[in-house]
Amino acid sequence: MALDLGGRILRSRTVAALASPHGIDRYLTQINPMLAAHEVRARITDIHPEVSAPGAPRVATVTLQPTSTWRGHRAGQHVSVGIDTGEGRRTTRVFTVSNTESKPGEPLTITVRAHEDEHATPYSISKFLTERATVGTLVHLSQAEGDFVLPDRVPEHIVLISGGSGITPVMSMLRSLQRRTHRGKVTFLHWAPSADRQIFADELDEIRRQGHGVDLHIMHTSDGAPYLSPALLEKLVPGFREVPTWACGPASLIEAAQAAYAGTESLRVEYFKPPRTAGVAGGEMEFARTGKSVANDGATILDQAEAAGLTPESGCRMGICFSCVTNKSSGRVRNVLTGETSELPDEQIRICVSTPEGDCSVDL
């Protein structure tokens, strides 16, 4: 009760007026970063390795105790995670909340796979979380976001499809369904490279053993399991195009699923990265502030800027966090998520999900 009253006072208009223009959280954080009236922060309370096979990228489930400002999440939603990774820098990336639907102030988990590629940056958040983070580390969160979620009334039969670390949102859905004691049928198809790289392996075994209306198929492709195809789907889920489906995974898997569902409304997808179906090359991409320009290669403006040696701000790199918003003074851009184009002069665009079409100039 007392706590609640404190929270209400801190969120009152009077306090907001007194703390203007900085906001009350700017003062509370000086006392203790876990005190907040609006923002969400959390401390790591547990780090549980999921995959630590030699040669495989590490995967870990990180449990976070948020401030009381956390409003909870719906299964399938994601959260921005900002971490001070050293050298005075904070990097922010988006991760799916992997545990059962949480209520306000309740702990949440994220399940993170160490990101390895030739471009990996020294500030990699996934590497930090799987290798360097410890219990007690402070992280800066957003509220849960995203509409890749189950409806309140779950249909009688649903299909969940995932690949690799894309298992996180569907796992949260599955766990929540079990808690909600969903009586219908769930067909869960998951692709992973091999058994020793399987995230949530023990829990999946348990689900398989118990049954409970979950029809589980795990495909380990290095053991010769088939890739996603319409034929395979038809075999496992007859009439699959009519069954509400949620799919999350690498671009190749999502594209295969989209081809199989042939544009039917049943399929909902979630990307961790913008689709690689890049834009059109051609024309000149100009970075007006630094006076650089490159031949437009059809990649996102963020990627082209980074390739040109610039370091624009970015966070989620997926159009979610708005930290990459930049003024585009001229040119036409295509949003790689929606396919929409726009060519208004002096427009604020998210460069992580915009590809130029022809000549384009941005304030970078």
Partner 1 sequence: MTSVEKTGNRRLSPEELEAFGAEMEAIRQRIVADLGEEDSAYIYDIVKKQRAFELAGRALFYLPVIGWVPAVACLSISKILDNMEIGHNVMHGQYDWMGDPDLNSRMFDWDTMAPAENWKYGHNYMHHTFTNIVGKDRDVGYGILRMDEDQKWHPYYLGNPLYAFLLMTFFEWGVAMHDLEVDELVAGRRTWAENKEIGARIWRKVKKQTLKDYVLFPLLTGPLAPLTFAGNFTANIIRNIWTFNIIFCGHFPAGVASFSQEECEDETQGHWYYRQLLGSANITGSRTFHIMSGNLSHQIEHHLFPDLPARRYPEIAEEVREICERYGLAYNTGPLRKQLFGVFKKICKYALPDRKSEAAAAAEPTPVLEGVAA
Ligand X SMILES: Cc1cc2nc3c(=O)[nH]c(=O)nc-3n(C[C@H](O)[C@H](O)[C@H](O)COP(=O)(O)OP(=O)(O)OC[C@H]3O[C@@H](n4cnc5c(N)ncnc54)[C@H](O)[C@@H]3O)c2cc1C
Positions touching ligand X (CB under 6 A) are 78, 93-96, 111-113, 115, 117, 119-121, 123-127, 165, 168, 272, 306, 311, 316-318
Strand partners, 43: 65, 138
Phi-psi region of 34 (alpha: psi -120 to 50; beta: other; left: phi over 0): alpha
The DSSP secondary-structure symbol of 76 reads: T
CB 244 within 8 A of CB 184: no
Q: Which of 41, 160, 350, 357 binds ligand FES (CB under 6 A)?
A: 350
- Segments of the chain assigned E as strands: 40-51, 59-66, 78-86, 89-96, 108-113, 138-141, 157-163, 185-192, 214-220, 245-248, 267-270, 284-287, 292-295, 325-335, 341-342, 347-350, 354-362
> Residue 86 CB: number of other CB atoms within 10 A?
12
**Binding to partner 1 (CB under 8 A): which residues in 40-99?**
82, 86-92
Of 186 and 269, the one with the shorter C-beta distance to ligand X is 269
CB 110 to ligand X: min, Å: 6
Q: Is 163 in the site for ligand FES (CB under 6 A)?
A: no
> Residue 346 CB: number of other CB atoms within 10 A?
9
CB 241 to ligand X: min, Å: 25
The interface partner of residue 319, options being ligand FES, ligand X, partner 1, none and the CB cut-off 5 to 8 Å by kind, is: ligand FES
The residues, any chain, with a CB within 8 Å of residue 110's CB and separated by 6 or more, are 61, 62, 64, 79, 81, 95, 96, 97, 98, 129, 168
Phi-psi region of 282 (alpha: psi -120 to 50; beta: other; left: phi over 0): left
190-198, 275-283, 307-315, 349-357 -> range binding partner 1 (CB under 8 A): 307-315
Of 63 and 326, the one with the shorter C-beta distance to ligand FES is 326
CB 128 to partner 1: min, Å: 13
20-28, 126-134, 167-175, 221-229 -> range binding partner 1 (CB under 8 A): 20-28
The interface partner of residue 119, options being partner 1, ligand X, ligand FES, none and the CB cut-off 5 to 8 Å by kind, is: ligand X
The residues, any chain, with a CB within 8 Å of residue 20's CB and separated by 6 or more, are none
Tell the burial category of 139 from Cβ atoms under 10 Å away from its Cβ (0-12, 13-18, 19+).
buried
The residues, any chain, with a CB within 8 Å of residue 163's CB and separated by 6 or more, are 190, 191, 192, 248, 249, 250, 253
Q: Is 352 in the site for ligand FES (CB under 6 A)?
A: yes
CB 245 to ligand X: min, Å: 18
Q: Binding residues for ligand FES, how many (CB under 6 A)?
A: 12
CB 169 to ligand X: min, Å: 7
CB 351 to ligand FES: min, Å: 7
Phi, psi (deg, nearest 5) at residue 349: -125, 155
17-25, 255-263, 274-282, 316-324 -> range binding ligand FES (CB under 6 A): 316-324
The interface partner of residue 250, options being partner 1, ligand X, ligand FES, none and the CB cut-off 5 to 8 Å by kind, is: none
Q: Is 313 in the site for partner 1 (CB under 8 A)?
A: yes
The residues, any chain, with a CB within 8 Å of residue 34's CB and separated by 6 or more, are 41, 43, 67, 138
Q: Is 338 in the site for partner 1 (CB under 8 A)?
A: no
Peptide bond into 21 cis (omega under 30): yes
The interface partner of residue 168, options being partner 1, ligand FES, ligand X, none and the CB cut-off 5 to 8 Å by kind, is: ligand X
The interface partner of residue 14, options being ligand FES, ligand X, partner 1, none and the CB cut-off 5 to 8 Å by kind, is: partner 1
Q: Where on the chain is the footprint of ligand FES (CB under 6 A)?
A: 314-317, 319-324, 350, 352
| Residue ranges that bind partner 1, judged by CB under 8 A | 14, 17-18, 20-22, 26-27, 30, 82, 86-92, 291, 311, 313, 315, 323, 325
